[in-house]
Amino acid sequence: AIENARLYDESLRALAVKSAMLQEMHHRVRNNLQTIAALLAMQLRRLEPESRGARALRESAARIQSIAEVHNLLCREDVGVTTVDAIARQVVQSAQISLVSYERPVKFEITGEPVQIGSRDATMLALIINELISNALVHGLAAEGGRIVIETSCRDEMVTIDVRDDGPLHPTPPPDSHASSGLGLQIIETLVHDDLGGTFELIK
């Protein structure tokens, strides 16, 4: 019994050390990513706000910041596990700063079940949600703004994440569609299909 207690204490100490090292790693990665995002923001101020280059740079900064927000979330967790809704809140908070303009207010709503997710999938999911928000802002919402809903559900061990806006439906791609949007959808499809083994459906 004494030997078992000693082994148990040692395993707890080892787990605590591993958890501390993991949190420190997430903390350092977050700081590095935030530095890169800040450098992109500095470069962005040198460009015309509505130019194609500025849009591409803004979207790239948002992608980097969304990953940084996940590491910020994970560095506060003990076991490197978080939830989909927590990730969505972090990404929305970042998007409101980097992607949403004051002239076009957007209301975000996060709803659904608190599905747990590991650190590897969390990073990919943050990028996916960021790209879906960006796509909705550019192509989905009306000119005066609107609402974006992020809903999570889990049925038979299958997790579904629905990101939708209240803008008009587009039977064909909008005329102002640009290359960065195509890159965003390509990022989504690659992460969903190849990395997460899921399916992706876009309704315009």
pLDDT tens column, 8-20: 677 777 766 666 7
pLDDT top residue among 180 and 170: 170
Whether domain 2-195 has CATH 3.40.50.200: the reply is no
DSSP the chain: -HHHHHHHHHHHHHHHHHHHHHHHHHHHHHHHHHHHHHHHHHHHTTS-TTSHHHHHHHHHHHHHHHHHHHHHHHTT-SSSEEEHHHHHHHHHHHHHHHT--TTS-EEEEEEE---EEEHHHHHHHHHHHHHHHHHIIIIISBTTBEEEEEEEEEETTEEEEEEEESS---SS--TT--HHHHHHHHHHHIIIIIIS--------
Confidence of residue 129 (pLDDT cuts 50, 70, 90): very high
pLDDT tens column, 101-110: 766 788 999 9
